[in-house]
A and B are shown apart, each in its own frame.
Chain A
Amino acid sequence: MSNENRKTLLIVDDEEMVAESYELYLSDKYETRVETTGGAALCELTPSDREIDLILLDRRMPGMSGDVVAEHIDEYELDYQVIMISAVDPDLDIIDMPVDGYLSKPVSEEEVVEAVERAFLIADYRELLLRYNEAAEKHDILMSNFSSGDAPTQLEQLKSRMQSLEEELNDLTESLSETNVGAVFNS
């Protein structure tokens, strides 16, 4: 895979050694950046510069905590994927937390890699679903204007695009079915 297509992760943990170990686990597949404070992490996230795709966020940090960083990201609608990693056991309070995943410390290499892959799969799914809905809506509007007999080629093209999107969606659902989220989709 060429460097341009690689996704970029921002790793935020006040323990530099911990952040570096996540880098070690993930640098084969992704570009990585490290910040050791919540404030510095927020500075990396500017709406104009969309270089970062996902954030691995420590929850308990001196100064600005992971909770606050996640809230800011949510508030400014920055729309990054966020995985919270914490030594604090998840409590009911994570229900309202604007994060896409939650891991409990200590974490293993497999857990970190799996959580990142899963988050990207879900993002892909969302994106595909949006494109499918868009195509389906156009299709419905056009269909009401043409009878099926004299449908123009454009409409046929739209139909085949919907079909390929549908197949992609099915493939993705299958890869997701090995995760918790997949169980929800398939039910």
Chain B
Amino acid sequence: MNHLVLFVGLPEFASTVESHIDCSIVERDSIEDAIEIFSARSDEFGCVITGHNYPAIDASRLLDHVSNQTPVIVIPTNGSSSLATAMYANGAAGYIDPDTTDTPVETVGELIHKQLAEAGSADSSLAEENKRLEEFVSFVSHELNNPIQKSRSGLDLIAAECDSDYIDEVDTTLDRMEELVDDLLALAKYGYNSPDVTDVELREVISDSWPTPTTADIEIDSSLPSIIAEESMVKQIFENLFRNAIEHGGPHVQVRVGMVDPPPTDEGDSVSIYVADNGPGIDPEARSKIFEFGHTDSQNGTGLGLAIVDRIVETFGWEITVTESSDGGARFELHGIPTAPTR
């Protein structure tokens, strides 16, 4: 939680309010200086209080530069109701006219406290919740790795001593448990964290995501662009989509990856990517359910793969849809992927 308050163009007001609030203040005389310090240290400020005395001090310029996460309170000289409306429309969190308020200093002090408390609690409780969830999932998954290892070891020792059809069956079950734990860990890792984005060579990541060894076949469009994303998360998306195609389309399924529309012409355009297969396809009525946790029609599926894909896609702010491919299989489309500027 940030307790630093930035005062802009309010020299007298700032020193009076300071004695009414229990947080540190930083003062700047001009909008330019305020924008400069805010850009450099934006996450330290819990609240911004600015004067407005057009044209010398123009609060709307500051509002344009301050992100929505930091509340801005405007204290005008010669205020008016139309000015108040304009400021709120520009994203101000509060508007206090000292000429029409009996106790402006106290009112501003209270408003600062309220804004700081609100901003802090909303952010930190969600972050804490996510952290707890991530820790829990990670803990459980790791605890499962030990018994799986023990069972795997025991089974291999049994297989060396005797022969039984049941050995293969248990072996397959253990593989499935391993996959499930991997999925849960991926969910903990990617599902609740904000991505760390860089330029990602899409074609390279996609070919790395293709499972080996496999008898299935993949064809990747050679003109796929570089995109802006977190590589490990993109890899997880394609790994899961490919696994899904093979699970449902069988060991000889053919998968194609390409761009939905012609390549973007301008730098920074967004792009849509499809992953299509020639498997049995997905029943139109089931399409809305496939991204839900635990949903699976496959004998071997964990029911988490596509849910994780959906989760990551949401984290990036992209969109995923599913339709039928030209040869009757499933076709997933990822929309709104920002491309990296070409070097």
Q: Which residues of A pack against B, CB within 8 Å?
A: 15, 17-18, 20-22, 24-25, 87-89, 104-109
Given the interface contacts A89-B142, A105-B145, A106-B145, does A18 sit within 8 Å of B185 by beta carbon?
A: no
Residues on B with C-beta less than 8 A from A15 are 146, 149-150, 153
Given the interface contacts A24-B157, A24-B160, A106-B178, does A17 sit within 8 Å of B150 by beta carbon?
A: yes
**Most A-side CB within 10 Å, residue of B142, B153, B157:** B153
The digit string for B143-155, where 1 denotes a CB below 8 A from any CB of A, is: 1011011101110
Known: A21-B153, A24-B156, A87-B143. 18 other contacts (CB 8 A): A15-B146, A17-B153, A17-B157, A18-B149, A18-B153, A20-B153, A21-B157, A24-B157, A25-B156, A87-B142, A89-B142, A104-B145, A105-B149, A106-B148, A106-B174, A106-B178, A107-B149, A109-B156
Residues on B with C-beta less than 8 A from A108 are 152
CB closest chain-B residue, reference A108: B152
Contact B142 A88 (CB under 8 A): yes
The 9 closest A-B pairs by CB, nearest first: A21-B153, A87-B145, A106-B149, A105-B149, A18-B153, A106-B148, A87-B146, A21-B156, A105-B145
Give the docked Cα–Cα distance between A24 and B149 (Å). Answer: 15
**Most B-side CB within 10 Å, residue of A17, A20, A25:** A17
By DSSP majority rule, is chain B's interface helix, strand, loop, or mixed? helix
Give the docked Cα–Cα distance between A169 and B235 (Å). Answer: 36
CB closest chain-B residue, reference A109: B156
Give the contact-size bracket for chain B: 10 to 19
Residues on A with C-beta less than 8 A from B145 are 87, 104-106
Residues on A with C-beta less than 8 A from B156 are 21, 24-25, 109
Contact A20 B149 (CB under 8 A): no
CB closest chain-B residue, reference A16: B153
Residues on B with C-beta less than 8 A from A89 are 138, 142, 185
The digit string for B198-218, where 1 denotes a CB below 8 A from any CB of A, is: 000000000000000000000
Contact A21 B146 (CB under 8 A): no
CB closest chain-B residue, reference A24: B160
Residues on A with C-beta less than 8 A from B154 are 17, 21
- Can you name 14 A-B pairs with beta carbons within 8 Å? A15-B149, A17-B150, A17-B153, A17-B157, A18-B153, A20-B153, A21-B153, A24-B157, A25-B156, A89-B142, A104-B145, A105-B146, A105-B149, A107-B152
Residues on B with C-beta less than 8 A from A17 are 150, 153-154, 157
Residues on B with C-beta less than 8 A from A88 are 142
CB closest chain-A residue, reference B155: A21
Residues on A with C-beta less than 8 A from B160 are 24
From residue A149, how far is it (CB to closest CB) to chain B in Å? Answer: 55
Give the docked Cα–Cα distance between A105 and B141 (Å). Answer: 11
Residues on B with C-beta less than 8 A from A20 are 153, 157
CB closest chain-B residue, reference A18: B153
CB closest chain-B residue, reference A15: B150
Contact A87 B149 (CB under 8 A): yes
The digit string for B64-99, where 1 denotes a CB below 8 A from any CB of A, is: 000000000000000000000000000000000000
The digit string for B297-319, where 1 denotes a CB below 8 A from any CB of A, is: 00000000000000000000000
Residues on A with C-beta less than 8 A from B185 are 89
From residue A48, how far is it (CB to closest CB) to chain B in Å? Answer: 33
Contact B142 A18 (CB under 8 A): no
CB closest chain-B residue, reference A86: B145
Give the docked Cα–Cα distance between A171 and B57 (Å). Answer: 74
Residues on A with C-beta less than 8 A from B150 are 15, 17-18
Give the docked Cα–Cα distance between A88 and B153 (Å). Answer: 18
From residue B340, how far is it (CB to closest CB) to chain A in Å? Answer: 24
Give the docked Cα–Cα distance between A104 and B145 (Å). Answer: 9
Q: Which residues of chain B from 241 to 293 have any CB-CB distance to chain A below 8 Å in the complex?
A: none
Residues on B with C-beta less than 8 A from A18 are 149-150, 153
Give the docked Cα–Cα distance between A107 and B153 (Å). Answer: 9
From residue B182, how far is it (CB to closest CB) to chain A in Å? Answer: 10
Give the docked Cα–Cα distance between A108 and B157 (Å). Answer: 13
CB closest chain-B residue, reference A106: B149
From residue B172, how far is it (CB to closest CB) to chain A in Å? Answer: 14
Residues on A with C-beta less than 8 A from B152 are 21, 106-108
Give the docked Cα–Cα distance between A108 and B153 (Å). Answer: 9
